[in-house]
Amino acid sequence: MLSKIARVLFTTVSVIVVLAILLGLFGVYLTQRSFPKTSGEIKLDGLDATVDIYRDTFGIPHIYAQTSHDLFFAQGYVHAQDRFWQMDFWRHIGSGRLSEMFGDKQLDTDTFLRTLGWARVAQQELDGLSSEDLAPLQAYADGVNAYLADHQGTALSLEYAVLKLLTPGYSPEPWQPLHTLTWGKAMAWDLGSSRLDSEAAHAVLMKILTPEQIGELYPPYPSDHPTVAGGVSSASTPGGSVGQPQAVQLLAALSPAFESIIGNIDGMESVLGPSGRSIGSNNWVIGGSRTSTGKPLLANDMHLSEQMPSIWYENGLHCAPKGPDSPFDVTGYSFASVPGVVVGHTDRIAWGFTNVGPDVIDLYIEKLNPENPNQYEVNGEWVDMILVKETIQVAGSDPVELTVRYTRHGPIIWDDPENTATIRPILSTAGARRSWPCPCVPAPHTLPPGA
């Protein structure tokens, strides 16, 4: 009897051990299947000549190409090798298409992103690029797509095995230059939204605190400090003239709007990472008179939101030989999804970026026509808004239709349809008016054609 029980136990344990080994081997296979090929030779269509890619002991790739086209083509290929899941996720953020990957749980975030219109602005910028500016974006996209042509599913990244369980029908689309530009908008938001959050919180506090208390939390700009532009009064600075009764009453009435905005910002942090005072950068430069080489030294500390993998991707881009049409010889940090190097050094100079918390997002209180929700007041007259139709594809559910209303200042980001007041206040927002390609400063906000 004991011998029979022992045999059963032995068989059971053996089966469990074998299953564990098989599962372990399958897990190793599944994980290693997405590892990039980093040695040997790969034949690709679309290159002008042979490209050499060397990875140092830290795995950092250095790309040597004879033309600028091949350099950015190879960078796109290498980025896709190492970071395509990150790139795919980022482009869905920039385009407001997270629901395509993760279902209706991301619908609120997509709605806010579509309302802000990052992808619409990026498309306008793309349409305005010269052929010279478009060339590196297209070469980069061609390199990414060359990798996608031979890799799908878990061969791209292990995360797609999990995503397959959540969204069985999802398959990554080809990369486009537009996807690169939309990430610039996400970075602009990450570095500028803390000011919007602060202004919304300021407005909410006006409902419960006295002007004196708010003045302690948001003191006005000191009158004896220098100003860049003349004609700026304390009334236009945080904490200035907060006691005006009509302004206080209006902002108090809009408290739900500002609370809604704060909620949207919190939702954005769930996909972009935390923003606020911890996001920014520092720069230090030491003069050559204080160094042993006689040359200046630059230290650049860019502390962005924590991500896994890192938001930065270190690489070297080298044209060999250098020439008028192939001038690049640079090493530094890039964003996976963007060609080139954001910060780094050549054989002659080094550079960095720092973000000083500029006020680059403005909120406008608009007056809505009580007879027509698609009109607002401008100089005493009712003016038609620009209406933009959006369709949000949702994995596992029907598509959701959205109409974005634009004023001359930007899209309407808050409205209360239940409000039956004679004059219904709404909020529209205008983003930063700065220019691409610097990913470390916000890109311009423009209206749709006809606005």
Phi and psi at residue 266, to the nearest 5°: -60, -40
Edge-first strand order for the sheet with 329-334 is 52-55, 61-65, 313-319, 329-334, 343-345, 350-351
Torsion, Cα of 139, 145, 149, 155 (10° steps): 130
Query: Are 108 and 267 a contacting pair, CB within 8 Å?
Result: yes
Nearest residue to 282 (alpha-carbon basis) of 258, 267, 301: 301
Distance CA 25, CA 139 (A): 38
> Do you find a cis peptide bond into 274, omega within 30 degrees of 0?
no
Distances 142 to 42, 43, 50, 127, 176 between C-alpha atoms, Å: 15, 14, 16, 18, 8
CATH of domain 45-184+308-351: 1.10.439.10
State the amino acid at position 197 in one-letter form.
D
Taking residue 148's Cβ as centre, other Cβ atoms within 10 Å add up to: 19
Taking residue 267's Cβ as centre, other Cβ atoms within 10 Å add up to: 16
Can you tell me whether residue 366 is helix, strand or coil?
strand
What is the pLDDT averaged over residues 407-421? 73
Q: Which helix (H) or strand (E) holds 212?
A: helix 211-217
Count of residues in the chain? 451
Most confident of 4-13, 187-196, 206-215: 206-215
Taking the alpha carbons of 187, 190, 195, 201 in that order, is the dihedral positive or negative?
Answer: positive
Token pair 């074998």 is found at 18
pLDDT at 235 over 70: no
Query: Are 353 and 282 a contacting pair, CB within 8 Å?
Result: no
Burial 417-435 (b: 16+ CB within 10 A, else e): eeeeeeebbbbbbbbbeee
Over residues 312-342, the pLDDT tens digits come to: 999 999 998 877 778 889 999 999 999 999 9
Nearest residue to 101 (alpha-carbon basis) of 55, 152, 165: 165
Burial 232-243 (b: 16+ CB within 10 A, else e): eeeeeebbbebe
Q: Evaluate if pTM is beyond 0.85.
A: no
Residue 241 pLDDT = 43
Edge-first strand order for the sheet with 381-384 is 381-384, 372-378, 362-369, 424-430, 412-414
DSSP 326: B
Q: What is the DSSP string of 60-107?
A: -EEEEESSHHHHHHHHHHHHHHHHHHHHHHHHHHHTT-THHHHGGGGH
Q: Where are the domains of the chain?
A: 45-184+308-351
Query: Are 78 and 53 a contacting pair, CB within 8 Å?
Result: yes
Over residues 381-406, the pLDDT tens digits come to: 999 988 989 999 998 889 999 999 88
Write out the two tokens for 327. Answer: 């001038």
Question: How high is the mean pLDDT of the chain?
Answer: 78
In percent, the amount of the chain with pLDDT more than 90 equals: 26
Over residues 42-78, the pLDDT tens digits come to: 888 889 899 999 999 888 999 999 999 999 999 999 9
Nearest residue to 377 (alpha-carbon basis) of 365, 368, 364: 368
Taking residue 54's Cβ as centre, other Cβ atoms within 10 Å add up to: 12
Residue 86 pLDDT = 92
Can you tell me whether residue 394 is helix, strand or coil?
coil
pLDDT at 164 over 60: yes
pLDDT at 41 over 80: yes
pLDDT at 141 over 90: yes
